[in-house]
Chains A and B, each alone.
Chain A
Amino acid sequence: MTEPILDIRGVTKAYGLTVANDAVDFQVEPGLIHAVLGENGAGKSTLMKIIYGVVKPDAGTLVWRGQLVSIASPAEARRLGIGMVFQHFSLFETLTVTENISLAVPGSKNELGQRIRAASARFGLDVEPDARVHTLTVGERQRIEILRCILQEPKVIILDEPTSVLPPQGIVKLFETLRNLASEGIAVVFISHKLDEIRALCDTATIMRGGRVVGVVNPKEETSKSLTQLMIGQDIPAPTARSHAGTTAGVLRVQNLDHVPDDPYAAPLSGLDLELRGGEILGIAGVSGNGQGALMRVLAGEIRTAPDTVLLDQKPVGALGPGARRRLGVHFIPEERLGRGAVPGHTLAENAGLTTFHSGLLSFGFLQLRKRRERAGKMITDMDVRCSGPDAAAQSLSGGNLQKFIVSREMALAPRVLIAEQPTWGVDVGAAAAIRQKLLDMRDQGVALLIVSEELEELMEICDRVQVMFRGRLSAPVAVGQTDIEHIGLAMAGDFDGLETVHG
């Protein structure tokens, strides 16, 4: 075994009462791809933030190439030779590719141009140096981010959930690049919660749970089941058997939707059709940023369209706002929880009325504070939201608990149609399972559900039909039993034709 380039011992970091890292040991060796595995909230990102100098640990030591160091800022981390590729990229939309790279890499424009071309050829990272970032796809952006990192000649590269934004084909390409990097002697730290990827790519894996390291293993010698057990300390909650009453005719329909969003960087929607039936879950797959956001706003009524573009029970509702649609039973769970689904600085009681105010919480324009507080209490117990009570500020809750609260709130009014955007993103395994179970229960009660998700596995698990979104267009729907992940993956890259593979 080679000498570790980075040797971390006993690192501890607490936020208030929550211990995010508890005496964590972590070693990184050059030339190896090292996975950090754990569910949301296990402490992976805190550990990476400590390594990259974003967060200062309360205790513990960092030894870099045999020297005891303290990394006070990202600038210092980069100076030492630690690079990081963020999950949500740290690129500047209005600047060109070269400008983005030059912000982190010294050198004249010409010199830099040569180095960019050389490095992109060597690692298979094709980029267009003069393009402005806002015109590029997610995959291209990731390549720039990695390229920028490589050009700083790091000894360690950390990638935070890099595959979550890529279609399956893009993942294959990324893995080639990472293997190339490792073969040049660079230590690659790969953070993920996707077991098959880790088993395919990584040489070693550090598994975290509840802020502690619970094992360091060779993932190639493990099974997904054994890794899972290490990761969550128990078996995965079993998915519910599909046994539902069957669907009813179209409840919500979108016909030939065209829309150019206000956001100059977002994809325009063109010719979208979809039909949502009662008692089924329709999944929208696709890499994020392909127009899902705008589609959701149209469905929720935040963006108005011509009245008959959106039909609810054959009645035109396209011109109605979110409030009017909620009154008709259409509810929406947005991706962004803090700041959209809930007001961060408001208490849970105040947030309880955000979308349910019309259901008896108002009299003559005045708020029924006591009633609202009672409702909030019920929302909290219904979904087992961990918090200090209705007076807790929304921003004091963990992401998963806040999501449970929002789900609970939207379900409290027994919607006929529920639209959910990334409902389990960033939520711990237990809460995610609880949310999925609720969605399935609602389906069985005849509710029409639409789920947007980047996680194909999730869509395959709970959806009845899937449509794929790519550059503002939507594929025809396909039943989940009649396709597979590979072909959905192709559709996510724009090839809609081969979506339906298994006929029958």
Chain B
Amino acid sequence: MDVLIFMVSGTLAAATALIFAAMGELVAEKSGMLNLGIEGMMATGAAMGFVAATVSGSYTVGFIAAALLGCVLSLIFALLTLVFRANQTASGLAIGILGLGLSSAIGKKYESMTLPGVPDLPLGPLAQIPVIGPMFFQLDVMVYLSMLLIPVTWYVLNRTRLGLTIRAVGESPVNAHALGLRVLWIRAGCVAFGGAMAGIGGAYMSTAYTPLWAEGMIAGRGWIVVALTVFGTWMVPRVAFGAYLFGSISLLELSIQALGVNVPSQLMSALPYLVTIFMLALISRNTLFIRLNSPASLGATFRL
């Protein structure tokens, strides 16, 4: 039973950074913006969050600083693609490269330092329920928030006027503009939200999950987030499911090492990437399904 509790609560924690970043990226992609710079924004968020939390002594300050910096980076992406009409793929890569450089500069003096980590917040009587309590209700506040973010994102995208507008812009920015919707502002807003969420996701890695700062600690999670939107075929519940799946894989990695199974550790480290490739091929094979569900203007430069 303890193993099960460890597996479930561990998966939730391991998936939290992915959930934040993936929900943000999903919203951005729904508006037609393919931001490939997630990796850089998460790394910057991790460094900024760690440094701000260490300096201020407050995790809240850490997360806010990380979100703001993620926002700023993503707005550079928005500026390049929306105002200067640069290619989205190249611009995303540029933000990624800048973000990685920035993270290393910000975190330089804090390399390999640790924090106590965001404390757990048992949810009153819920935490007392046997088995269920330790699985779901004795985690830190960011895990709860990430779990809350899933239905909220779903509701906003599918049940509100704002969501309708975002989906319309993502399907056809030209038509949306002709209808008088403010395409550039909506897209910039979605990208900024994505940046903030990526920043928070990164900060969660450095201030709660590990909790330490080491250069390169995001280790491809930003790219897995981009892949998640494809696995989830741009549907909130499926994307969230994918994030938890990857959370459980990183847990598997830890467990197998802990159990002393004789597998090269490098194979275990490569596992998330191999699974990503496999899943990507599996889901993308159905081109019709992908075409029906992907935002029609995703990645295309919008010209008035």
Residues of A near any B CB (own CB < 8 A): 54, 73-75, 77-78, 84, 86, 89-95, 99, 102-104, 262-264
In the complex, the number of residue pairs spanning A and B with C-beta atoms less than 8 Å apart equals 53
Across the interface, do A102 and B161 meet the contact criterion of CB distance under 8 Å? yes
Across the interface, do B179 and A103 meet the contact criterion of CB distance under 8 Å? yes
Query: Which residues from A are CB-within-8-Å of B176?
Result: 92, 103
Pick the interface stretch among B45-53, B162-170, B204-212: B162-170
Across the interface, do A103 and B181 meet the contact criterion of CB distance under 8 Å? yes
Query: Which residues from B are CB-within-8-Å of A103?
Result: 164-165, 168, 176, 179, 181
Cα-based distance from A295 to B220 in the complex (angstroms): 45
Query: Which residues from A are CB-within-8-Å of B164?
Result: 95, 99, 102-103
A37 to nearest B CB, angstroms?
24
The answer to whether B180 has its CB under 8 Å from any CB of chain A is yes
Query: Which residues from B are CB-within-8-Å of A75?
Result: 180-182
Given A99-B164, A103-B164, A264-B292, are A90 and B171 also a contact pair (CB < 8 Å)? no
The answer to whether B301 has its CB under 8 Å from any CB of chain A is no
Cα-based distance from A89 to B172 in the complex (angstroms): 11
Contact residues of A: prevailing secondary structure: loop
Query: Which residues from B are CB-within-8-Å of A74?
Result: 177-180
- B261-304 with Cβ < 8 A to chain A: 287-288, 291-292, 296
Query: Which residues from B are CB-within-8-Å of A90?
Result: 172, 174-175, 178-179
Across the interface, do A94 and B171 meet the contact criterion of CB distance under 8 Å? yes
Give the contact-size bracket for chain B.
Answer: 20 to 34
Residue of A nearest to B165 (CB): A103
| Closest 3 pairs between A and B when the two form their complex, measured CB to CB | A75-B180, A90-B175, A90-B178
Across the interface, do A262 and B287 meet the contact criterion of CB distance under 8 Å? yes
A83 to nearest B CB, angstroms?
11
Q: Mark B157-201, 1 if CB is under 8 A from A, else 0.
A: 000010011011001101111111110000000000000000000
Known: A89-B175, A95-B168, A103-B181. 9 other contacts (CB 8 A): A73-B180, A74-B179, A74-B180, A90-B172, A92-B168, A93-B296, A102-B164, A103-B165, A262-B291
Query: Which residues from A are CB-within-8-Å of B165?
Result: 103
Across the interface, do A95 and B287 meet the contact criterion of CB distance under 8 Å? no
Across the interface, do B180 and A94 meet the contact criterion of CB distance under 8 Å? no
Question: Please, could you name 24 A-B residue pairs with CB atoms under 8 Å apart, sorted by A?
Answer: A54-B178, A74-B177, A74-B178, A74-B180, A75-B181, A78-B180, A84-B178, A89-B175, A90-B172, A90-B175, A92-B168, A92-B175, A92-B176, A94-B171, A94-B296, A95-B167, A99-B164, A102-B164, A103-B164, A103-B168, A103-B181, A104-B179, A104-B180, A264-B291
- B131-180 with Cβ < 8 A to chain A: 161, 164-165, 167-168, 171-172, 174-180
B165 to nearest A CB, angstroms?
7
Residue of B nearest to A76 (CB): B180
Cα-based distance from A74 to B183 in the complex (angstroms): 12
Query: Which residues from B are CB-within-8-Å of A94?
Result: 167, 171, 296
Query: Which residues from A are CB-within-8-Å of B178?
Result: 54, 74, 84, 86, 90
Query: Which residues from A are CB-within-8-Å of B182?
Result: 75
Residue of B nearest to A89 (CB): B175
A102 to nearest B CB, angstroms?
7
Query: Which residues from B are CB-within-8-Å of A93?
Result: 171, 296
